Amino acid sequence: MTSISMPGHDRASLFSAPRDAAMVAPSILSADFGRLEVECKAVLDQGADLLHLDVMDGHFVPNLSMGPALCASLRRHFPNTFLDVHMMVTHPGDFIEPFAKAGADHFTIHVECEEDPQSLADAIRQSGMTAGLAIKPDTDFSRMEPLIDSFDLLLVMSVHPGFSGQAFIPEVLETTRRLKAMIGPNQHIQMDGGVDPKTAIECRQAGCDVLVAASAIFKQDDYRQAIAEIRGS
């Protein structure tokens, strides 16, 4: 099976150390699932920094997507690639160990889930992954604010989660700016939803350094150009 080596990408510290340039994280939600290995290899060969896995339970969001088995399969095919799991599920705690065993490097939960984010952050770290906290566009920032120091990455949702291909909600740029003023040098801000070469400019200016994009990469003919433009390089 194909495996790729990405020197310069230290899996262990991708989201827990400062980095010079913005990172581009293709969300495989818009990949052709029948050709998933080929699609993932293509985006990684053409400049992607990591892979973003959108996990949905049909309850927290009105859609179903992927689970630990798919993560394990990607880990076998891409042993050196950083796998970033975004849990759009009501009870993410149930899936920390399954995803850690499946080879995930990072695990983002939602502040709106029905569990205690602080306890989840501790459990995620104990399992060997870095921890992320996501906030939906309509959720009051005061719910995220007291938890910021406990997470390696803060994810600002720029669409209502559940589906790729939606329009970017610009109001979340203000949340990003507030976060940027509050985080430390080892923490990261990720934007997810409606990110394309145009909206990515505003995201980067607001302080976001990890840009997730599904349709703006996988629905394009030229992955290399799409990734470079989103990164701003």
Whichever of 112 and 192 has its CB closer to Zn ion, that residue is: 192
* Residue 54 among the catalytic residues: yes
Cβ 166 to ligand DX5 shortest distance, Å: 5
Q: Which of 16, 127, 139, 166 binds ligand DX5 (CB under 6 A)?
A: 166
Structure tokens at 186: 């080892």
Could you tell me if 218 and 30 are in contact, meaning their C-beta atoms sit under 8 angstroms apart? yes
Q: How far is the CB of 169 from Zn ion (least distance, A)?
A: 14
Shortest distance (Å) from residue 41 CB to ligand DX5? 19
Cross-strand bridge partners of residue 135: 156
Residue entry with tokens 């669409």:
159
Q: Which is nearer to ligand DX5, 117 or 126 (CB)?
A: 117
Long-range contacts of 177-181 (CB under 8 A, 24+ apart): 177/206, 177/207, 178/141, 179/144, 179/148, 179/154, 179/207, 180/206, 180/207, 180/208, 181/207
Pick one of Zn ion, ligand DX5, none as the site partner of residue 133 (Cβ within 5 to 8 A by kind). none
* Closer residue to ligand DX5 in complex, CB, 161/207: 161
How far is residue 106's CA from residue 82's CA, in Å, rounded to a whole number? 8
Enumerate residues 6+ apart whose C-beta is below 8 A from 100: 107, 127, 128, 129
Q: Confirm or reject binding of residue 57 to Zn ion (CB under 5 A).
A: no
**Interface residues toward ligand DX5, by CB under 6 A:** 27, 29-30, 52, 54, 86, 159, 161-166, 192-195, 212-216
Point out which residues bind Zn ion (CB under 5 A): 54, 86, 192
